[in-house]
Amino acid sequence: NTYDFGLVGLGVMGRNFILNVADNGFTAFGNDLDQEKVNALIEEGGDKSKVNADVDAAKFVASLSAPRKIMLLVPAGKVVDIVIESLLPYLDEGDIIIDGGNSFFTDTDRREAYLKEKGINFFGAGVSGGAKGARKGPSIMPGGSREAYQFVKPIFEAVSAKYKGEPCVTYLGPKSAGNYVKMVHNGIEYGLMQLTSEIYDLLKKAGNLSNQELHKTFDTWSKGRLQSFLVEITATIFDQKDDLTDGDLVDMILDKAKQKGTGKWTSQNAMDLGIPVPTIDIAVSMREISALKDERIKADALYDRPTPENVVKDSLVKKAEAALYFAFIITYAQGMHQLADASKEYGYELELGEIAKIWRAGCIIRAALLADITEAFKADAELPNLLVSPSFVSKVKETVDSARELVAYGANNGIPLPGLSNALTYFDAYTSNRLPLNLIQAQRDFFGSHTYERLDRDGIFHTEWES
Ligand code: 6PG
């Protein structure tokens, strides 16, 4: 028997992905070092002629049809290299390996070049949507050889999420394009999550909303322009009772956010490229500040904080909705801007409209806004920033004042809104035709003869400043 698709790593994601492949009429074979995981898959798969698995790499590879399509869903890092080495002795020229994990993009470039020498096609394919997405339809972001993609395409298109019938997967570009796009997806994810948590804080402290009211508020929002996976799950979270006490679960969860690195990589690489993504940067910093819980407790005792002045609930909720929408737009704008620049820098040839399109369903940052972003890039593929797209200009004009009011309220009342205020300052700076950085140029020239350019004539100037 030869199987259509192979998958290494039968953890929750791997098992769910392979069952999804089988649901869509393809035969699939799994591999994992853990015999129990192999057995569990065989049992769940039912018919062995459709879903089978083995711990032995040689048997695994031998059971696949040519060119072999082998997806890895294993932890990013060294494990990916180890798995590749374990498969290599049995592979033939033209076979395809697809890394479905959150690998760092330069690792993908290295692996792609190494495997190319051996005639093996390597894909970095970000997969988003968590365990449920893997089972029912994730968004898939593949990058690698365009020719080899043709072999993977029918399977990926079948298993991916669908937005109005259109598959949430497309070939994105060469080399590590897929991993890079997934990395920025995660950076945006960090930004949206940080913003959502700030708005929760504000509604709770300024408006005294109970968890049930928060549940209802987010639930209503999730049916309007803020419709998105993250707003939907937020509504559900506020409704969750705690099994261990008789309170609500959200109130019992420790306020220290963990991270696996993809948000930080997005920020780090944006710095390398010289592209500002401050809403993503601050989302990473806030996870870091949250981790300093013991220090925060001590510092809290040293300072007084204003008691938040209560505001009328209805108008607060209205403004919060608008401000969150505004800041979501800014976060997507920053992420797309980074992708546009990275595409030039790394030769990915990314089509931003296509990326927005495959994010409309399946992935963690799916949102009604992504349909609008898709349209904006369809209208102008070279759009330098969403903020200059006509359809976004009106959306921003309508909501920015709410962001201003809430940022001011947060500052006056000691409620930290770093994501929202960064989104606002990014907007104010990006849309300013004159920034005060002429002064920085003057200072640089003053103390270091670093020279400056002028508004009124071309050339490079230096002044002997009077000291
Ligand atoms: C996805 C997610 C996923 C990521 C988690 C956790 O698109 O399905 O982005 O890939 O691993 O969101 O990320 P952190 O642990 O860094 O928060």
Question: Atom 9 (ligand 1): residue with closest C-alpha?
Answer: 186
Topology agreement, domain 5-175 and domain 182-430: no
From residue 270, give the alpha-carbon distance in Å to each of 14, 193, 328: 31, 19, 18
Question: Atom 10 (ligand 1): residue with closest C-alpha?
Answer: 128
> Which pLDDT does position 1 carry in this prediction?
66
pLDDT along the chain (467 residues), means of 10: 94 98 98 98 96 98 98 97 98 98 98 98 98 97 97 98 98 98 98 98 97 98 98 98 97 98 98 98 98 98 94 97 99 98 98 98 98 98 96 98 98 97 98 98 98 98 95
> Which pLDDT does position 445 carry in this prediction?
98
CATH number for 437-467 (one of 3.20.20.70, 3.30.1360.120, 1.20.5.320, 3.40.50.800): it is 1.20.5.320
CATH code at 5-175 = 3.40.50.720
**Run of H or E residues at 394:** helix 390-413
Which ligand 1 atom sits nearest the alpha carbon of residue 189?
Answer: 9
Q: Is 48 a catalytic residue?
A: no
Complex-level ipTM = 0.97
Cis peptide before 67 (omega within 30 of 0): yes
Q: Would you say the CB of residue 130 lies under 6 angstroms from ligand 1?
A: yes
Q: Is 421 annotated as a binding residue?
A: no
> Which pLDDT does position 467 carry in this prediction?
81
Q: Would you say the CB of residue 416 lies under 6 angstroms from ligand 1?
A: no
For residues 124 and 141, what is the distance between their CA atoms, to the nearest angstrom?
8
Catalytic residue among 37, 69, 175, 182: 182
Q: Is 129 annotated as a binding residue?
A: yes
* DSSP, residue by residue, 325-388: HHHHHHHHHHHHHHHHHHHHHHT----HHHHHHHTSSSSTT-BHHHHHHHHHHHH-TT-S-GGG
Nearest by Cα to 188 from 377, 399, 366, 432: 366
Cα 262 to ligand 1 centroid, rounded to whole Å: 8
Pairing of strands 121-128, 139-143: antiparallel
Tell me whether residue 78 is exposed, middle or buried, using C-beta atoms within 10 angstroms of its C-beta: 0 to 12, 13 to 18, 19 or more: exposed
Q: Is 261 annotated as a binding residue?
A: no
Q: Would you say the CB of residue 259 lies under 6 angstroms from ligand 1?
A: yes
Domain ranges of the chain: 5-175, 182-430, 437-467
From residue 257, give the alpha-carbon distance in Å to each of 46, 102, 156, 267: 39, 19, 33, 17
Q: Would you say the CB of residue 129 lies under 6 angstroms from ligand 1?
A: yes
Q: Would you say the CB of residue 364 lies under 6 angstroms from ligand 1?
A: yes
For residues 215 and 221, what is the distance between their CA atoms, to the nearest angstrom?
10
Q: Is 215 annotated as a binding residue?
A: no
Which ligand 1 atom sits nearest the alpha carbon of residue 364?
Answer: 7
Which ligand 1 atom sits nearest the alpha carbon of residue 257?
Answer: 17
From residue 322, give the alpha-carbon distance in Å to each of 18, 42, 372, 390, 397: 41, 50, 16, 18, 11
CATH code at 182-430 = 1.10.1040.10
For a mutational test of ligand 1's pocket, the pick from 99, 186, 196, i.e. the residue with the most ligand atoms closer than 8 A to its C-beta, is: 186
Q: Yes or no: say if 40 and 10 are a contact pair by the CB < 8 Å rule.
A: yes
Q: Would you say the CB of residue 284 lies under 6 angstroms from ligand 1?
A: no
Q: Is 189 a catalytic residue?
A: yes
Q: Is 450 annotated as a binding residue?
A: yes
Longest dimension (CA), the chain: 86
